[in-house]
């Protein structure tokens, strides 16, 4: 294994002279991406009235504090500059008003009818809908209609504080400014009615809003179109008596408005024939326009707001698609694993199952080792207990801790040490292959121990002459910590169920470096181990498939490996794995268009590996992002139910995998926590791997610190952990 000096992360000085570590970019960048996604979801929730929405409606109250001229006055209320006046629309003039829009379906149809009959109207738009559909508001203004504020989130303002009222108005104006480049002085309160319905709760709000420079517009003719009473009834209710002028309340949003559109198409020409004019409010009152142009910084603020809302809508749509994709991938993978792994287990466990004639000839076991002084003795002694005849070739890859001397000092028969300058794991394996005596070669890591039956079980599939490589069953030996338990679940559930599935599909992507076997002739045909990627085990496996060899899984060939014990070490390992897998996929991409065995692997194996090992883990955090969003903003019960459903499917798969491997179920207690926390770590790893790949960076091997505590079940008592201090880092010789 190629060495790498681990450099400390970036640090900055502090006043007391100490060094303050900065957050590594590998953590900072994914964290920023997650924060940005959550911010987009929050913004979407805000403009969809899922956040800060208040749907309470004030019941009627007393009216003794409402001025008489307001209660008996017209529907236009002006309390600006200390005035308390109301206005009515002149006779034979109708001001059609539409609330709660714009709506992407019904507002364009309303505008089309108004344009066809040369009529103007007033649209009281909400900030939420304006932010989402700014082009419709711009069309309103461009076609001569007036727009007015209807608050941002449509709350009953009599329940709100002055600060919240100001916020509702300013956000509503901001959205209109961004959409159409104007400000408006018209306002209609949500849930408003006629002027005589003003009471002691709503009047102070109207008075305050007037002080902020707005004219309040209620109505004196209600079509009640929201009830969908029928076209004839809408027309009857919207028609004022005796040629009176009126402000007519209609809606262009909030549900099916087909009756409203149909009623307008008859209402407009009929009343025009009776001498009515359909004007905007200021046209009907012969007053200056309610619109003023917005320029400069305010205009750009509005545009920025609309841009962010539109971005949040698009990003959220993409996230929803991503969630659907990851949901499909997760379910599909679990279904395939359960189905195909059960087929695999039944097939290889039949009493009459055989790979072919028993393989009894000796095999060569290659052990590449770089600074494995703590582990190498356990590794070699476990091989000496093998039930199958073997020779052991330990390739010391320039170790500085006396690894080679430890093996030589053991003085064991059939164990040879080959020394080389540090050149990396692929070079060490190729050196071992050149020194191997036998036609079947077993490869393992220097921190792994075999059971006595492992080599025998691993080489039996070579009784089938079409088999070129065999993957063993790698298991976590140090599972006593939480991180170790999580990796134990991952190895049993993910790796081994996956290998059963890929075995049936004949597209096994990886022979694990901890326990694998190869035909020497097959290795030589594909050029031996390559250092083109950081995942040489995945690279060689894909090369074997493309060369026409069958790669299978031997479930009883168990090897016990020491998994990383800290988050930093786990991150380093998985970063290398994921980046190396991407490199291998890219290296063998031509298999997609080739014929024969290579093409079959390219069109079956590569897509499955890309979907299940690269894309799915990258998208998996979306499950947790939407879980958090759903818990906070709803629908909470459905969200939790969906998440628990996915977890239940995972638990079933995990339990089945543990049963197949005859493992105790107690470790599955930590499965829910693993799914929440472990997924984020894998997301960080994969995102960094993508960034490294896209930027053309090159990740090198990173040596993990080992403790040497792993032994096969039934072996000797594990040695106590050595203290992590400077003393245990010194070379032996």
Catalytic residues, by residue number, are 99, 251
Closest residue by Cα to residue 444 from 532, 553, 560, 551: 560
CB atoms within 10 A of CB 322: 18
Q: What does the buried/exposed string (b/e) look like for 625-664 if buried means 16 or more CB atoms within 10 Å of the residue's CB? A: bbbebbeebeeeeebeebbeebeebbbebbebbbebbebe
Closest residue by Cα to residue 315 from 519, 42, 510: 42
What is the DSSP code string of 508-556? Answer: -----TTSEEEEHHHHHHTTS---SSS-HHHHHHHHHHHTT-EEEEEEE
- What residues contact residue 319 under an 8 Å CB cut-off, 6+ apart? 37, 40, 41, 622, 625, 626
Q: Indicate the burial class of 33 (C-beta count within 10 angstroms; 0-12, 13-18, 19 or more).
A: middle
CB atoms within 10 A of CB 438: 15
Contact 404, 380 (CB under 8 A): no
Q: Is the dihedral of CA 284, 191, 292, 105 positive or negative?
A: negative
Chain-centroid distance of CA 657 in Å reads 26
Q: What is the CA radius of gyration of the chain?
A: 37
Packing angle, helices 567-587 and 536-546, rounded to 10: 30
DSSP E strands, 112-176: 121-125, 146-149
- What residues contact residue 175 under an 8 Å CB cut-off, 6+ apart? 125, 127, 130, 131, 134, 137, 152, 302, 305, 306, 309
Contact 207, 65 (CB under 8 A): no
Contact 183, 173 (CB under 8 A): yes
465, 675, 687, 688 from 32: Cα distances, Å: 52, 21, 12, 13
- What residues contact residue 680 under an 8 Å CB cut-off, 6+ apart? 621, 624
Cα(365)–Cα(455) distance, integer angstroms: 9
- What residues contact residue 538 under an 8 Å CB cut-off, 6+ apart? 509, 510, 580, 581, 584
Cα(572)–Cα(19) distance, integer angstroms: 23
Cα(512)–Cα(490) distance, integer angstroms: 14
DSSP E strands, 379-459: 390-397, 415-420, 440-443, 448-450
Contact 180, 47 (CB under 8 A): no
- What residues contact residue 530 under an 8 Å CB cut-off, 6+ apart? 426, 536, 539, 540, 543
What is the DSSP code string of 630-661? Answer: HHHHS-HHHHHHHHHHHHHHHHHHHHHHHHHT
């Amino acid at each position: 294994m190629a060495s790498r000096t681990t450099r400390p992360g970036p640090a900055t000085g502090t006043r007391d002279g100490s060094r303050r570590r900065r957050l590594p970019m590998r953590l900072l960048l994914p964290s920023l991406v997650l924060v940005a996604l959550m911010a987009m979801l929050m913004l979407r929730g805000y403009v969809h009235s899922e956040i800060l929405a208040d749907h309470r409606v004030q019941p009627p109250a007393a009216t003794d504090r409402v001025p008489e001229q307001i209660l008996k006055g017209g529907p236009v209320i002006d309390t600006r500059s200390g005035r308390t006046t109301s206005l009515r629309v002149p006779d034979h003039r109708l001001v059609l008003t539409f609330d709660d829009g714009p709506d992407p379906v019904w507002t364009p149809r309303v505008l089309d009818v108004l344009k066809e009959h040369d009529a103007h109207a007033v649209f009281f738009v909400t900030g939420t809908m304006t932010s989402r559909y700014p082009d419709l508001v711009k069309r309103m203004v461009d076609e001569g209609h007036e727009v007015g504020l209807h608050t941002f989130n449509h709350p009953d303002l009599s329940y709100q504080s002055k600060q919240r009222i100001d916020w509702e108005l300013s956000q509503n104006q901001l959205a209109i400014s961004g959409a159409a480049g104007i400000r408006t002085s018209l306002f209609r309160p949500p849930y408003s009615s006629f002027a005589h319905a003003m009471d002691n709760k709503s009047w102070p709000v109207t008075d305050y809003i007037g002080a902020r420079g707005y004219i309040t517009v209620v109505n004196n003719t209600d079509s009640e179109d929201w009830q969908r009473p029928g076209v004839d009834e809408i027309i009857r209710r919207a028609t004022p008596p005796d040629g009176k002028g009126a402000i007519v309340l209609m809606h262009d949003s909030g549900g099916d408005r087909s009756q409203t559109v149909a009623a307008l198409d008859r209402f407009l020409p009929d009343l025009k024939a009776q001498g009515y004019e359909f004007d905007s409010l200021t046209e009907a009152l012969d007053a200056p326009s309610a619109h003023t142009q917005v320029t400069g910084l305010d205009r750009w603020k509005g545009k920025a707001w609309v841009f962010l809302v539109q971005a949040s809508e698009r990003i959220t749509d993409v996230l929803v698609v991503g969630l659907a994709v990851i949901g499909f991938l997760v379910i599909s993978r679990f279904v395939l694993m359960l189905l195909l792994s059960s087929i695999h287990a039944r097939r290889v466990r039949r009493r009459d199952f055989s790979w072919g004639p028993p393989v009894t000839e000796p095999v060569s076991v290659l052990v590449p080792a770089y600074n494995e002084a703590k582990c190498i003795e356990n590794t070699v002694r476990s091989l000496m207990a093998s039930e199958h005849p073997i020779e052991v070739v330990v390739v010391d890859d320039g170790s500085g801790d006396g690894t080679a001397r430890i093996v030589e000092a053991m003085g064991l028969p059939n164990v040879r040490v080959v020394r080389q300058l540090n050149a990396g794991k692929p070079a060490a394996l190729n050196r071992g292959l050149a020194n191997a005596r036998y036609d079947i070669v077993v490869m393992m890591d220097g921190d792994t121990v075999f059971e006595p039956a492992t080599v025998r079980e691993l080489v039996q599939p070579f009784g089938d002459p079409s088999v070129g490589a065999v993957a063993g069953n790698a298991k976590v030996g140090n599972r006593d910590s939480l991180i170790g338990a999580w990796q134990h679940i991952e190895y049993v559930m993910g790796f081994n169920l996956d290998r059963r599935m890929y075995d049936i599909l004949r597209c096994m992507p990886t022979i694990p470096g901890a326990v694998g076997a190869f035909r020497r002739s097959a290795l030589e045909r594909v050029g031996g181990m390559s250092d083109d990627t950081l995942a040489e085990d995945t690279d060689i496996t894909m090369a074997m498939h493309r060369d026409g060899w069958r790669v299978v899984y031997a479930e009883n060939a168990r090897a016990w490996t020491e998994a990383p014990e800290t988050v930093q070490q786990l991150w380093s390992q998985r970063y290398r794995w994921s980046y190396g897998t991407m490199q291998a996929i890219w290296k063998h991409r031509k298999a997609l268009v080739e014929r024969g065995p290579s093409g079959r692997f390219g069109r079956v194996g590569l897509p499955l590996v890309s979907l299940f090992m690269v894309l799915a883990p990258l998208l998996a955090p979306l499950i947790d992002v939407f879980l958090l969003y759903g818990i906070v903003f709803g629908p909470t019960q459905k969200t939790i139910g969906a998440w628990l459903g996915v977890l239940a499917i995972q638990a079933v798969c995990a339990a089945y995998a543990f049963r197949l491997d005859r493992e105790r179920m107690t470790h599955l207690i930590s499965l829910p926590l693993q799914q929440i926390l472990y997924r984020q770590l894998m997301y960080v790893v994969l995102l960094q791997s993508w960034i490294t790949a896209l930027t053309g960076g090159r990740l090198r091997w990173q040596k993990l610190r080992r403790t040497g505590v792993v032994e096969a079940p039934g072996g000797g008592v594990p040695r106590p952990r050595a203290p992590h201090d400077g003393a245990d880092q010194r070379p032996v010789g």
